[in-house]
Structure 1
């Protein structure tokens, strides 16, 4: 039995990037042997085990044979005779098809190190085309390593374009599409991810509402905005900036096609509704109050704060306008409904007086 560090950990170690997780391949072993050594098997059809102490993933070396459509239609062979090279050849990119033995020696049968040096993302073999999920993974890697100057090899771009034309990408589940998008948002270059999909004609399939709004100019503008992001709301803000040109009426279809989390839906609904209203840094008291009401700043101030934080990223002028929104919100939320009630107003009159008082507070900033 031999154990090798494989995949992303080897790649990122060579790139001198922080290694987030370590995956290992075990050659010449069986499930029963690993279980006897204390490893915990995860999944019955997939030979992956958790180390008894580190909880790192250890997978038996395996080969795969296409048996159906999509990224799940494979038959695995993980007998002890499967070699390390047979395991590595089934991987997506050459930079992900390297291994390291226990002595630190790099096993690189597909010249992944050379592609790392040349900053190229290249598919290992024609078996790449059997798994449509790899299209999104390559787009994500292009986004992740864009800051290092990486690009996708021309032959890999052509192969992905052919896969899209053949319809394999249509078999991807909503959950997997969103997962790859979310990871690209986290990596901070969702514009590069989108550029790749646009170039291989996958954007109308993966993100139809974005198709008519995406352009090289939009991509460049977004890239500049993303460099200014920081903090815990970074992904949500990037998401809203990415899709700021779509219409609020398109969000329902988008959320259904991707099964977006509620916080992403709420943030995008608010931003796409009011960004067109305020993008020229002009507003009436009524428009500002409409924003406050839809954000429900009275009970959920964090929703308006996210809008303000996102709007501020657009430019210095927008940041100044957002500051006025923040000041107006602070004053409007200080209006005390109990004071109105004590003045003798009842029923619908309370709501009317409350709106008047809030208008007055907003006018101090926007009159």
Structure 2
């Protein structure tokens, strides 16, 4: 029985990146042997075991044969006769098909190290096209490693286009699509994920609303996502920045079909509805107190202050994306990049201090308390804007 460290742990170590998860492949063993050593079996379709102490995953070497559509349509064969090279051959990219034995020796039958050196994302074999999920995975790796100079190999991009043309992408579940998308949004350059999907004609199958949006405002949407990424690590904000230019109907359809988390959907809808109103706050002395208060009220800011702060951040990302493509704009480098955000937040925090206590002391009850708070906040806004 031989044990090898495989996949991302080997790849990231060779790139000088932190290694978070460690996965192992076991060659020449039967399930009973691992069970006797205290490993816990967790796999259903093929034997995967958790180490009794580290809880790292150990999988028996296996091969796969296409048996149906989608990324689940495979028959797995495993056993002591499956070689390491056969196991590595089923992996998606060469950089993920490098193994390391317990003595640190590397096994690289498919040229993964050379592709690491040349910063190339290349498929291991033509079997790549049997699994539609790999289109999303390659796009995600392109986003994750973009800052290191990685690009998708032309022949791999060709296979990705073939998968998109085959209709196989429709077999992917919304949950699996969103899981890959969420991982991509967490990258330093998440816009690359969508660029790669569009370059292989897969974006329309995954996110048709974005495909339509990109047909006219691609640069803006991706720039907004990039600026949002510079401002925050919150994935809901990044998603909202990307989709902010969609109308409510299109955004709702995208979120419902893709099983987007409620938090992401709510912030995206608020951003779509209110970003233009926030942009309009260029001259506080001309603004309307009732409209500003309506913004606070309609966005439920008093109960959801953190979400309101995220809304302002999304608006800033959108505005900065607009400025990036406005050749006539003249920016004052000494000024705040988006003063509306700071101004609205300042007003909000000050108005938040107006609470029910004094009105209860006056004897007001029920809805009258809420109306009194609203009027007091309106009066305060009017004084500031006078």
* TM bucket, shorter chain: over 0.9
| Residue 74 to residue 224, structure 1, CA distance change in 2 (3 Å) | closer
Deviation at 1:216, TM superposition (A): 4.9
Deviation at 1:353, TM superposition (A): 3.9
Residue aligning to 2:339: 320
Question: Would you say the 8 A contact 2:63–2:78 is kept in 1?
Answer: yes
Deviation at 1:226, TM superposition (A): 4.5
Question: Would you say the 8 A contact 1:270–1:294 is kept in 2?
Answer: no
| Residue 45 to residue 344, structure 1, CA distance change in 2 (3 Å) | closer
Provide the C-alpha distance between the structure 2 equivalents of 1:67 and 1:2, rounded to a whole number of angstroms.
Answer: 29
Provide the C-alpha distance between the structure 2 equivalents of 1:348 and 1:268, rounded to a whole number of angstroms.
Answer: 30
Residue aligning to 2:113: 113
Deviation at 1:222, TM superposition (A): 3.5
Provide the C-alpha distance between the structure 2 equivalents of 1:213 and 1:177, rounded to a whole number of angstroms.
Answer: 19
Deviation at 1:64, TM superposition (A): 0.3
C-alpha deviations, 1:149-178, integer Å up to 9, x for none? 100001111110111111000000011111
RMSD: 2.1
Find the partner of 1:225 among 214, 227, 236. Answer: 227
Deviation at 1:2, TM superposition (A): 0.4
Deviation at 1:211, TM superposition (A): 1.5
Deviation at 1:62, TM superposition (A): 0.2
Query: Counterpart of 2:65 in 1: which secondary structure?
Result: strand
Question: Would you say the 8 A contact 1:297–1:333 is kept in 2?
Answer: no
Deviation at 1:55, TM superposition (A): 0.6
TM-score, normalised to structure 1, is 0.93
Residues 195-214 of structure 1: pairs in structure 2 closer than 5 A: 195-214=195-214
Deviation at 1:124, TM superposition (A): 0.6
Query: Counterpart of 1:187 in 2: which secondary structure?
Result: coil
Return 5+ residue gaps in structure 1 as ranges.
none
Question: Would you say the 8 A contact 1:331–1:362 is kept in 2?
Answer: no
Question: Would you say the 8 A contact 1:312–1:320 is kept in 2?
Answer: no
Deviation at 1:280, TM superposition (A): 4.0
Provide the C-alpha distance between the structure 1 equivalents of 2:154 and 2:122, rounded to a whole number of angstroms.
Answer: 8
Provide the C-alpha distance between the structure 2 equivalents of 1:364 and 1:29, rounded to a whole number of angstroms.
Answer: 78
Deviation at 1:275, TM superposition (A): 0.6
Return 5+ residue gaps in structure 2 as ranges.
321-334
Provide the C-alpha distance between the structure 1 equivalents of 2:210 and 2:381, rounded to a whole number of angstroms.
Answer: 35
Residue aligning to 2:30: 30
Question: Would you say the 8 A contact 1:26–1:60 is kept in 2?
Answer: yes
Residue aligning to 1:302: 306
Residues 161-240 of structure 1: pairs in structure 2 closer than 5 A: 161-214=161-214, 215-218=217-220, 221-222=223-224, 224-226=226-228, 228-230=230-232, 233-240=233-240
Residues 253-332 of structure 1: pairs in structure 2 closer than 5 A: 253-282=253-282, 284-313=288-317, 314-315=319-320, 319-332=338-351
Find the partner of 1:333 among 352, 358, 381. Answer: 352
| Residue 356 to residue 101, structure 1, CA distance change in 2 (3 Å) | same
TM-score, normalised to structure 2, is 0.88
Query: Counterpart of 2:76 in 1: which secondary structure?
Result: strand
Residue aligning to 1:103: 103
C-alpha deviations, 1:207-232, integer Å up to 9, x for none? 122122225522662465155234xx
Deviation at 1:244, TM superposition (A): 1.5
| Residue 139 to residue 271, structure 1, CA distance change in 2 (3 Å) | same
Question: Would you say the 8 A contact 1:324–1:365 is kept in 2?
Answer: no
Deviation at 1:294, TM superposition (A): 2.4
Provide the C-alpha distance between the structure 2 equivalents of 1:169 and 1:280, rounded to a whole number of angstroms.
Answer: 41
Question: Would you say the 8 A contact 1:115–1:121 is kept in 2?
Answer: yes
Matched, 1:65 2:60: no
